[in-house]
C-alpha cells in the first residue's frame, strides 16, 4: 500500500503549483539567493534555473517538487507588498514619469518608497521621446506625498521586500523646489529630507534601495545616491571642489555638513566626504546602515570611462547607472575600485561555519577566496619602494633578473620593402583582451614558497627565474608541427617591448609555459610558487563578459553574427544608444582598472620608499595575480600572431596591448584574415564580439604611416597607437 501512496505523491508533485516566473525571481532576490545557489541545491545547471525564472522552460519532476517547496517557503517569508487602497476622502494624485527604454514592461506595478503602488504608462510604439537638454528634468504633475511609514526600530528589518525600488537613485530638485529621487525603471520618489543626515536616514528607512548580494556568503550592496548640482545646493554642499579640496579629494573637516553628520552620529570612511563618500553607522547584528554618495560635479564619473554621463538629466543617468548596476554591480567608486570590489563580492573572504555543539555559527575562511589577511609578495614580485626592498641601496635599479616585469605589448618595427608596396595598414583589436586572459586562469591564493632548482610545472602559479634567450622564433612548434618563420619580423613573447631576452629573468607561469609550448626546454634556477591556488577570477570574468555581451546585443551587435554582419553592426554602434555605449566603456574600464588595482602604487599621503602604503593592507593587493593575467594575455595574442604568420606568411608591423597592425592591400580585416567558407583559421584571429575575438580597429594608408614616422624621426614609432583615427600629436610622442 505504501508504494501506491508514493506513486500518488509523485503524481501530485509532477503538477506542483508554481508562481509566475516574475514572482520566482522576486522571491529569490528577496532572500538574497543567487541563481548559482539554487542550481547547486537542486542539482541542475545554472541555465536551467534562469530558464525557469524567465518562463522559457518549466521544471519537471523530481526537481519541480523541490523547487515548489522552496518557493512556497520563500513566499511565506516575503509576501507581495500589498497595494494601498485609495482613500475616499483624500485621493492622492499619482505622477506618470516618462518611461525609458529600460523601463519595466507595460502594466507592471511599481512600488514607491512610501508603500503606494502605481503603474507606469506603456511606452510609445513608434519613435522614442526626444532627448532633453542636460540638467533639465522632465516636468511632473504636482504630487501629494502619502503619509510616511513608521520608521522601523534600529536593528530591525522592514516587512516589505528588500530593495523594491532598485539599487540607486539620482537626487535632484525640480522647478517647483521639490526634492525628487529618480530610480531605475522610471520610478520617481518624493524626498522629504531637509539635510544630508536626513537624506541618509530616509534612504535606509523608506527608500527601498539596495542590491542583493552576488554570492551566498557576501553582503548586500549599500544603496547609492547620486547628487545633482541642484541637490548639492539644497543640502548645503558646494557644486564644485576648490583646488585644495580637489587635491585632497574631500571636504575640509570643519565643513558644516560634516558637523551635521557628526551630531546625528553618522560616520565617514577614511577617504572622507569626497566624490564617492560612504556614510555609515556601526552595524547592529547582520543589519548594515551605510549609504554611498556619488557626486558627478566633483568628478566622481571620470569622463574617460563614463563619457558625458555626468551631464545627463537625472532620469537618463539613473537608467545608465541602473543598467551598469544590474549587469556588473552597484558602483562602489571609480571603475577600478568597482572592478576590485566585484572580485571580493563574488568571492567573499569568509563564510558562516556549520553549527557548533550549541547551534551557533562562526566566521570561517571561504575556500577559493583570498582570505581576510593580506600576504606579502615574493621579493621579485614587489614593486620598487616596497618594504620588502627597504634594505636595497637607495639608487639601486633592479634588472630583469631581480624583478618580475610582466606588462602588455608596446612593440613596432620598420616596414619591409614588400610591405611598403601595400596600400593600407589595417588594425585589429582583441575584445576584452585582459578579461579573456583571466578566464580559466589558475592564480595563487596564499603566500609564496621559495624553491631552488625546481622542475617547471605549468599548472603551478608563481614566478620563475629562467633563461629563455635560447628560444628561436624562426623555428617553433605550431600545434604539433614545427614551422619555419621569419623570426626577425616577430616580437618576442617574453618581453613587453618584444626584444629577445639576453639572460635569466623572472617570468610568470603562463610565459614559461608558452616557451615549452613553442617546443623548447626550460630549466628554472629558482622560483616562488603558490601551492594554494584556484581559478579565483572565473566568476569575475563571467560577470563582466555577460555584462559586455548583453549591452552590445542591446546595441545591435550580437554574438551569433557572421563576420560580414558583425563588421556592419559595429559601424556606428555607439550612436544607436549613446547611454548604453557609455555602459560598454565602463565595463571595459572595470576590467582594466580592477586588474590595475591588484598592484596599486602609493598615492601621495607623505609616502617614502621602504614604507608601507595603504593598499598593502588589502588582501586583494596581489601583484602576482595581475602579472599572471597580463602574461597570459600577451602570450595568447602572440600565439594568434604565430599561427597567422605560419598560415599566411603575414607578419605584424606594430602591436600595442591588444591591437595588432598589418600591412595589406585591402581595406579591412576580411581582406587578410584567412576565412574559408565563413570559418576562421583554428587558433588564429576570429571576428566577433566575444572576449578574445577581434574587431576592426582602423585603417590608414601606408603613406600615412611612413609619413608619420618620417615626421617624428622614429622609424619604429608604434602606429598601433594612432591607427584608429590617424590623429598624431607632439604630446603623444612625449615631445
482 Cβ neighbours under 8 A, 6+ residues apart: 475, 476, 519
Answer yes or no: is 490 within a domain.
no
Helices H / strands E in the chain, number of each: 21, 24
- pLDDT (mean) for 652-661: 97
Ranges 36-40, 566-570, 696-700: which has the least confidence: 36-40
Give me the long-range contacts of 132-138 (CB less than 8 A, separation at least 24). 132/313, 133/313, 134/308, 134/311, 134/312, 134/313, 135/228, 135/229, 135/311, 135/313, 136/313, 137/172, 137/174, 137/180, 137/182, 137/313, 137/314, 137/315, 138/97, 138/98, 138/313, 138/315
Same domain, 173 and 65: no
Distance CA 81, CA 76 (A): 12
Question: Among 10-19, 214-223, 659-668, where is mean pLDDT lowest?
Answer: 10-19
- Among the listed residues 461, 470, 476, 457, the one whose alpha carbon sits nearest the alpha carbon of residue 504: 470
Would you say residue 116 has pLDDT above 60?
A: no
Q: Do residues 150 and 160 touch, judged by C-beta distance below 8 A? A: no
Distance CA 702, CA 699 (A): 9
Question: 734 pLDDT band (50/70/90 cuts)?
Answer: very low
Q: Could you tell me if 656 and 530 are in contact, meaning their C-beta atoms sit under 8 angstroms apart? A: no
Residue bearing the bigger pLDDT, 368 or 161: 368
60-74, 251-265, 442-456, 625-639, range with the lowest pLDDT: 60-74
Spell out a b/e string for 52-84, using b for 16 or more CB atoms within 10 Å of the CB, else e.
Answer: bbeeeeebeeebbbbbbebbeebbeebeebeeb
Element (H, E) at 232: helix 229-234
Closest CA to 467 of 404, 527, 524, 398: 524
Residue-level pLDDT at 144? 34
Beta strands per DSSP E along 665-726 = 694-701
60 and 173 inside one domain: no
Confidence of residue 27 (pLDDT cuts 50, 70, 90): confident
Together in a domain, 325 and 183: yes
Which of 330, 356, 377 is the last residue before a domain boundary? 330
Mean pLDDT score, 468-493? 95
Q: What's the average model confidence in pLDDT over 53-65?
A: 82
Q: What percent of the chain has pLDDT over 70?
A: 86
Q: Domain check: are 73 and 165 in the same one?
A: no
How many angstroms separate the CA atoms of 547 and 691, rounded?
Answer: 11
Name the one residue in this structure whose C-alpha cell is 582583441: 430
Residues 226 and 320 in one domain: yes
**Mean pLDDT score of the chain:** 86
Those residues with Cβ within 8 angstroms of residue 488's Cβ, 6 or more apart along the chain or in another chain: none
Helix (H, G, I), strand (E, B) or coil at 25: helix
pLDDT at 129: 37
Task: Inform me whether the pLDDT recorded for 220 exceeds 70.
Answer: yes
**Maximum Cα interatomic distance, the chain, rounded to a whole number of Å:** 94
What are phi and psi for residue 410, nearest 5 degrees?
Answer: -145, 85
Which pLDDT score is estimated for 620?
Answer: 97
Task: Look up residue 653 and give its three cell numbers.
Answer: 608591423
DSSP assigned state of 324: H
- Tell me the HSE value of 261 on the side-chain side, using a 13 A CA sphere: 26
Q: Determine the Cα–Cα distance for residues 39 and 31; give it in Å rounded to an integer.
A: 15
pLDDT value, residue 104: 38
Q: 699 has which bridge partners? A: 426
H/E stretch holding 111 reads strand 110-111
Residue 246 exposed, middle or buried by CB count within 10 Å (0-12, 13-18, 19+): middle
What's the Cα-to-Cα distance from 494 to each of 91, 483, 657, rounded to whole Å? 73, 19, 14
What gap in Å lies between CA 553 and CA 550, rounded to an integer?
5
Model confidence at 64: pLDDT above 70? yes
- 473 touches 411 (CB < 8 A): no
Q: How far is CA 168 from the centre of its chain?
A: 17
Q: Which residues pair with 617 in a beta bridge?
A: none
**What average pLDDT does range 307-317 have in this prediction?**
96
The angle, 0 to 180 degrees and rounded to 10, between the axes of the packed helices 538-554 and 335-346 is 120
Confidence of residue 1 (pLDDT cuts 50, 70, 90): low
Are 243 and 183 in contact by the 8 Å Cβ rule? The answer is no
| pLDDT(14) > 60 | no
Asked if residue 316 belongs to a domain, the reply is yes
Lowest-pLDDT choice from 8-12, 415-419, 606-610: 8-12
Q: What is the CATH number of the domain that holds 38?
A: 1.10.260
Which residue, among 548, 529, 578, 540, has the nearest Cα to 438 in the 3D structure?
Answer: 540
Give me the pLDDT at residue 83, please.
44
Is 296 contained in some domain? yes
Length of the chain: 735
Other Cβ atoms less than 10 A from the Cβ of 402: the count is 16
What would the mean pLDDT of 195-223 be, rounded to a whole number?
Answer: 94
User: Of the given ranges (348-352, 652-656, 711-715), which has the lowest mean pLDDT?
Assistant: 711-715
Greater model confidence, 99 or 353 = 353
Question: Does residue 238 lie within any of the structural domains?
Answer: yes
Cell of 717: 614609432
Q: Looking at the structure, do residues 295 and 168 belong to the same domain, yes or no?
A: yes
Confidence check: pLDDT of 91 > 60: no
State yes or no: pLDDT of 315 exceeds 90: yes
Give the model's pLDDT for residue 7: 58
* pLDDT > 90: percent of the chain: 69
Domain final position from 24, 52, 77: 77
For position 506, what pLDDT does the model report?
Answer: 98
Task: Establish if 250 belongs to a structural domain.
Answer: yes
Residues 48 and 190 in one domain: no
Q: Name the phi and psi angles at 661, rounded to 5.
A: -115, 130
Task: Tell me the residue range of the domain where 197 lies.
Answer: 110-115+161-330
Weakest-pLDDT range from 86-100, 486-500, 525-539: 86-100
Q: Quick check: 203 pLDDT over 50?
A: yes
Is the predicted pLDDT of residue 217 greater than 70, yes or no?
A: yes
pLDDT higher at 135 or 242: 242
Q: Is the pLDDT of residue 77 over 90?
A: no
The pLDDT value recorded for residue 10 is: 56
Higher pLDDT, 244 or 424: 424
Query: Are residue 198 and residue 320 in the same domain, yes or no?
Result: yes
Domain ends where: 304, 330, 356? 330
Residues 68 and 165 in one domain: no
Whether 398 is in a domain gets the answer: no
How many domains, in total, are found in the chain? 2
Whether residue 231 lies inside any domain: the answer is yes
Q: Which of 116, 108, 109 is nearest to 87 (CA)?
A: 116
- Bridge partners of 463? 508, 528
Residue 154 has pLDDT above 50, yes or no: no
Q: Is 578 inside a domain boundary? A: no
Residues 6+ apart with CB under 8 A from 242: none
Same domain? 184 vs 55: no
506-519: per-residue pLDDT in tens? 999 999 999 999 99
625-636: string of b/e by CB count within 10 Å (b at 16+)? Answer: bbbbbbbbbbbb
Contacts of 109 (CB under 8 A, 6+ apart): 83, 117, 118, 119
Work out the angle at residue 608's Cα, subtended by the Cα atoms of residues 605 and 612, and round it to the nearest 5 degrees: 80
Amino acid at each position: 500500500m505504501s508504494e501506491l501512496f508514493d506513486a500518488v505523491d509523485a503524481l501530485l508533485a509532477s503538477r506542483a503549483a508554481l508562481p509566475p516566473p516574475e514572482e520566482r525571481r522576486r522571491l529569490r532576490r528577496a532572500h538574497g539567493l543567487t541563481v548559482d545557489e539554487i542550481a547547486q541545491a537542486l542539482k541542475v545547471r545554472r541555465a536551467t534555473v534562469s530558464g525557469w525564472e524567465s518562463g522559457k522552460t518549466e521544471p519537471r519532476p523530481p526537481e519541480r517538487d523541490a523547487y515548489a517547496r522552496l518557493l512556497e517557503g520563500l513566499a511565506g517569508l516575503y509576501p507581495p507588498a500589498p497595494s494601498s487602497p485609495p482613500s475616499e476622502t483624500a485621493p492622492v494624485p499619482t505622477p506618470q514619469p516618462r518611461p525609458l527604454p529600460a523601463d519595466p514592461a507595460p502594466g507592471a506595478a511599481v512600488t514607491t518608497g512610501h508603500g503606494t503602488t502605481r503603474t507606469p504608462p506603456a511606452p510609445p510604439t513608434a519613435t522614442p521621446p526626444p532627448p532633453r537638454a542636460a540638467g533639465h528634468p522632465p516636468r511632473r504633475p504636482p504630487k501629494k506625498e502619502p503619509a510616511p511609514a513608521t520608521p522601523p526600530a534600529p536593528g530591525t528589518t522592514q516587512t516589505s521586500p528588500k530593495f523594491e525600488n532598485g539599487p540607486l537613485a539620482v537626487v535632484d530638485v525640480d522647478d517647483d523646489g521639490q526634492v525628487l529621487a529618480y530610480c531605475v525603471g522610471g520610478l520617481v520618489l518624493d524626498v522629504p529630507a531637509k539635510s544630508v543626515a536626513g537624506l541618509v536616514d530616509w534612504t535606509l528607512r523608506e527608500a527601498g534601495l539596495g542590491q542583493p548580494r552576488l554570492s551566498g556568503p557576501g553582503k548586500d550592496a549599500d544603496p547609492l545616491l547620486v547628487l545633482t548640482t541642484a541637490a548639492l545646493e539644497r543640502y548645503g554642499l558646494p557644486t564644485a571642489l576648490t583646488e585644495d579640496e580637489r587635491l585632497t579629494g574631500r571636504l575640509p573637516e570643519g565643513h558644516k555638513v560634516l558637523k551635521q553628520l557628526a551630531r546625528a552620529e553618522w560616520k565617514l570612511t577614511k577617504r572622507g566626504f569626497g566624490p564617492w563618500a560612504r556614510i555609515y553607522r556601526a552595524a547592529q547584528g547582520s543589519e548594515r546602515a551605510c549609504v554611498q554618495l556619488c557626486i558627478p560635479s566633483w568628478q566622481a564619473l571620470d569622463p574617460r570611462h563614463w563619457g558625458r554621463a555626468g551631464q545627463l538629466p537625472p532620469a537618463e543617468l539613473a537608467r545608465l547607472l541602473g543598467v551598469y548596476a544590474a549587469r556588473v554591480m552597484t558602483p562602489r567608486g571609480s571603475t577600478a575600485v568597482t572592478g576590485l570590489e566585484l572580485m571580493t563580492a563574488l568571492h567573499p573572504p569568509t563564510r558562516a561555519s556549520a553549527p557548533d555543539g550549541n547551534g551557533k555559527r562562526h566566521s570561517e575562511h571561504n575556500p577559493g577566496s583570498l582570505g581576510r589577511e593580506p600576504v606579502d609578495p615574493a621579493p621579485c614580485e614587489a614593486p620598487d619602494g616596497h618594504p620588502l626592498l627597504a634594505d636595497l641601496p637607495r639608487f639601486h635599479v633592479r634588472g630583469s633578473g631581480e624583478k618580475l616585469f610582466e606588462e602588455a605589448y608596446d612593440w613596432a618595427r620598420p616596414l619591409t620593402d614588400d610591405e611598403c608596396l601595400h596600400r593600407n595598414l589595417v588594425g585589429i583589436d582583441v575584445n576584452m583582451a585582459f578579461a579573456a586572459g583571466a578566464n580559466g586562469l589558475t592564480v595563487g591564493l596564499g603566500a609564496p614558497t621559495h624553491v631552488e632548482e625546481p622542475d617547471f610545472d605549468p599548472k603551478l602559479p608563481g614566478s620563475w627565474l629562467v633563461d629563455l634567450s635560447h628560444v628561436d622564433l624562426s623555428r617553433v612548434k605550431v600545434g604539433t608541427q614545427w614551422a619555419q618563420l621569419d623570426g626577425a619580423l616577430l616580437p618576442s613573447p617574453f618581453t613587453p617591448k618584444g626584444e629577445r631576452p639576453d639572460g635569466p629573468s623572472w617570468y610568470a607561469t603562463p610565459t614559461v609555459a608558452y616557451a615549452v609550448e613553442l617546443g623548447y626546454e626550460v630549466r628554472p634556477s629558482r622560483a616562488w610558487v603558490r601551492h594554494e591556488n584556484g581559478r579565483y577570477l572565473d566568476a569575475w570574468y563571467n560577470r563582466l563578459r555577460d555584462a559586455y555581451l548583453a549591452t552590445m546585443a542591446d546595441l545591435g551587435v550580437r554574438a551569433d553574427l557572421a563576420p560580414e554582419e558583425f563588421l556592419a553592426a559595429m559601424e556606428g554602434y555607439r550612436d544607436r544608444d549613446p547611454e548604453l555605449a557609455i555602459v560598454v566603456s565602463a565595463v571595459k574600464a572595470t576590467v582594466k582598472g580592477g586588474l590595475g588595482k591588484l598592484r596599486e602604487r602609493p598615492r601621495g599621503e607623505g609616502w617614502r620608499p621602504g614604507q608601507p602604503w595603504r593598499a598593502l593592507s588589502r588582501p586583494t593587493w596581489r601583484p602576482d595575480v595581475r602579472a599572471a593575467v597580463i602574461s597570459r594575455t600577451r602570450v595568447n595574442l602572440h600565439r594568434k600572431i604565430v599561427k597567422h604568420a605560419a598560415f599566411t606568411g603575414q607578419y605584424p608591423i606594430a602591436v600595442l596591448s591588444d591591437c595588432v597592425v598589418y600591412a595589406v592591400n585591402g581595406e579591412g580585416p576580411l581582406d587578410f584574415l584567412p576565412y574559408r567558407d565563413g570559418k576562421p583559421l583554428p587558433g588564429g584571429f576570429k571576428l566577433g564580439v566575444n572576449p578574445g575575438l577581434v574587431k576592426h580597429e582602423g585603417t590608414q594608408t601606408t603613406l600615412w604611416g611612413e609619413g608619420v614616422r618620417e615626421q617624428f624621426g622614429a622609424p619604429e614609432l608604434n602606429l598601433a597607437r594612432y591607427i584608429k583615427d590617424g590623429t598624431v600629436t607632439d604630446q603623444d610622442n612625449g615631445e
